[in-house]
Structure 1
């Protein structure tokens, strides 16, 4: 039996990444009207107010965004909770798991002493492939086998190491729990262990914590966030390698590659015959051992635990084991999906009179092209109008001459 949180609590779900955060944000967003009827508020205009959370917790936002505007947006979300005084307020962002010391303190001070932190934990062995793919959509990364060796060798490195160091900053779940217990106390931290075999487990845990009827929270199907096949991942990483240098800026890369090409690829149905990503047996063994050690420390942290910590080292939850064969050819369907994603973002560049101040070189080039087309259409429209006016004046003049 899960004891619900006391009235007046603000639940802050801090992730980390790839532990059901997107699913829960979607479920809360879709049910926000029903939540309000039960005294639960999930404020915002998006299912995940990511950049607002980043602005306060990390002191930065995505390239091309205005940090001051998003920082104010976060404070507006908090103000909405304070003004409406719901039975329970909810904020959710995996960004909080990486909060700086100053950012974590800002979040807690703004929300007040009745804040309760929820951390969702998932077996590390199940996160390896999805996180490698996620990193590979944003920055150049080593091949999967080399990346695995680097990551697992960095397990005990305090700052996360040199290869995608944020992996262990996010996924040393034991250290994450200990950190937030140190900030707010064990009685104000709940760890939910995610069992991928039980699709109702995570929503049911949130329903219980929030005092909601069973079945109210239903994560929407998210086909835009699916895992890539091994050939798709290889193609994506080749594209990232080629767009991680001039003239591409970080702002351009985020807009056109991360949220363009990658989303286009994920939105397309995968080739059913394509090889899925396989994880070598040695990496599975090391990840399970790491999970067992983390489970022991979480159990001793003083936080409340919902679920079975033994799942963090359960071999039954390991991903498909093996070694992938090298990719020898490009799938035309995958390449087309990448292109559609980029083109969609390019055509979405607005031909306003001035380009955005924070736009990158590629976006500025697209803006210049769109602006030139818009100006030409405007000129043609003016010429057409001028000719029509002249024709009308001519007709009127001829009528007057005939009548005189």
Structure 2
């Protein structure tokens, strides 16, 4: 990626993802390098590597259940103000949720950042995204088995064999029709303000080097941190997660409860635990690999014709050498005890983290409210014990004071 022309001073670089194309890695690299970036006039604002709630609020017009849209929408504009106040050579924002922005959301982002905004889109071969995105969906919503999901997504069951979204994970093609994503943002911002970075998973320095070139940074300054909390699941782990999500997607579980205790509790607990080295990884059927490579070739052609600047080789989008492991997974007959324990640890960590404040959060779901009620009952017992102990201590101190007075007398 060396030789990438740097963006001009005064530019705001907006990395819009999409998902599973190195966004987390680049956000981590930018966050870790903030002191060094400042020396080169680069500002990456915020209090976290990814200000996802603020990005969702302005781009999508909603936030996760249990959070305030108005608060996080204002948070996004505060980030923009923070960036402008620093008067950087180049400001940087990064969030994969921008790839799903509504028309109003996309315009709001571009209008707020001004005419010197440059949009960066990172793309990977679709064939490498199928398994990771199915796994991601299994952590959030009920989805069919992998083979059945593939047949719907890749259009095997549709008339004409066109890729389908339908009612099964419709966000997949909103995120990963990379050609249409590029065309859309070229239409919004202009071809001269859009760069497409093609990610080659065999070259771990390729993506950071592309950003270093765009930002005018020395080679090696951006180093994505090792992220063990976002690893791929083994096939048995994915099935356990799929079963749990299926059981927690109806009452008494609300969307707020599901997000807090399952998505960011159980799933994170599972990913933080080391996988069973003997467990089978997710395999993609050969027919699906062939179809995904065919779709990738068509995407490459349209991206090349879009007028956007391309960094990397579009031929990678249909390169069979980058395809994942092919085959059919063997049936799983029993739940992995280690995976079940990791899920439980993740949920318990979130349950114990419910704060026993005098009142539960207004946006708390039924499960969180039940946990709060238990924590609050224990807290009230402790408070009552402390009050009794305090009263006893005060009485003892008064008796001792009077005794000292009589002794002195």
TM-score normalised according to structure 1 size: 0.98
C-alpha separation in 2, matches of 1:162 and 1:380: 55
- The residue aligned with 2:336 is 331
C-alpha separation in 2, matches of 1:28 and 1:396: 63
User: Could you give the per-residue CA deviations for residues 269-296 of structure 1, whole angstroms, max 9, x where no partner exists?
Assistant: 0000000000000000000000000000
- The residue aligned with 2:100 is 98
Candidates 208, 211, 236, aligned match of 1:231: 236
The Cα RMSD (Å) is 1.3
- The residue aligned with 2:294 is 289
Corresponding position: 1:10 with 2:15? no
User: Could you give the per-residue CA deviations for residues 152-198 of structure 1, whole angstroms, max 9, x where no partner exists?
Assistant: 1178568x322100000000000000000001111110000000000
C-alpha separation in 2, matches of 1:147 and 1:67: 32
CA contact (8 A) 2:18 2:97 kept: yes
User: Could you give the per-residue CA deviations for residues 196-240 of structure 1, whole angstroms, max 9, x where no partner exists?
Assistant: 000000000000000000000000000000000000000001000
- The residue aligned with 2:364 is 359
384-393 or 374-383, larger mean C-alpha shift: 384-393
Structure 1: runs of 5 or more not aligned:
none
TM-score normalised according to structure 2 size: 0.96
Q: Secondary structure at the match of 1:190?
A: strand
C-alpha separation in 1, matches of 2:145 and 2:163: 21
Q: Secondary structure at the match of 1:125?
A: helix
Q: Secondary structure at the match of 1:305?
A: strand
- The residue aligned with 1:43 is 45
- The residue aligned with 1:349 is 354
- The residue aligned with 2:28 is 26
- The residue aligned with 2:205 is 200
- The residue aligned with 2:277 is 272
User: Could you give the per-residue CA deviations for residues 333-389 of structure 1, whole angstroms, max 9, x where no partner exists?
Assistant: 111111110111111111111111111111111111111111100110111111122
Q: Secondary structure at the match of 2:154?
A: helix
User: Could you give the per-residue CA deviations for residues 242-300 of structure 1, whole angstroms, max 9, x where no partner exists?
Assistant: 00011100000000000000000000000000000000000000000000000000000
C-alpha separation in 2, matches of 1:396 and 1:300: 91
CA contact (8 A) 2:121 2:182 kept: yes
Output aligned runs, 1:205-220, within 5 Å.
205-220=210-225
Over 2 Å off, 4+ runs: 154-158, 391-404
C-alpha separation in 2, matches of 1:113 and 1:396: 77
- The residue aligned with 1:112 is 114
- The residue aligned with 1:382 is 387
User: Could you give the per-residue CA deviations for residues 50-86 of structure 1, whole angstroms, max 9, x where no partner exists?
Assistant: 0100000000001111111100010011112222220
- The residue aligned with 1:133 is 135
Candidates 139, 143, 146, aligned match of 2:145: 143
Q: CA deviation at 1:316?
A: 0.4
Structure 2: runs of 5 or more not aligned:
none
CA contact (8 A) 2:153 2:163 kept: no
C-alpha separation in 1, matches of 2:209 and 2:163: 35
Q: CA deviation at 1:17?
A: 0.1
C-alpha separation in 2, matches of 1:203 and 1:329: 41
CA contact (8 A) 2:152 2:163 kept: no
Candidates 185, 197, 200, aligned match of 1:180: 185
Q: CA deviation at 1:397?
A: 3.9
Corresponding position: 1:81 with 2:107? no
C-alpha separation in 2, matches of 1:108 and 1:203: 24
C-alpha separation in 2, matches of 1:136 and 1:234: 8
C-alpha separation in 2, matches of 1:68 and 1:210: 32
Q: CA deviation at 1:403?
A: 6.3
Q: Secondary structure at the match of 1:297?
A: helix
C-alpha separation in 2, matches of 1:299 and 1:388: 80
Candidates 174, 190, 195, aligned match of 1:190: 195
352-361 or 213-222, larger mean C-alpha shift: 352-361
Q: Secondary structure at the match of 2:119?
A: strand
Q: CA deviation at 1:392?
A: 2.5
C-alpha separation in 2, matches of 1:276 and 1:23: 22
C-alpha separation in 1, matches of 2:41 and 2:19: 28
Q: CA deviation at 1:399?
A: 4.8
Q: CA deviation at 1:396?
A: 3.6
C-alpha separation in 1, matches of 2:335 and 2:108: 48
User: Could you give the per-residue CA deviations for residues 294-322 of structure 1, whole angstroms, max 9, x where no partner exists?
Assistant: 00000000000010100000000000000
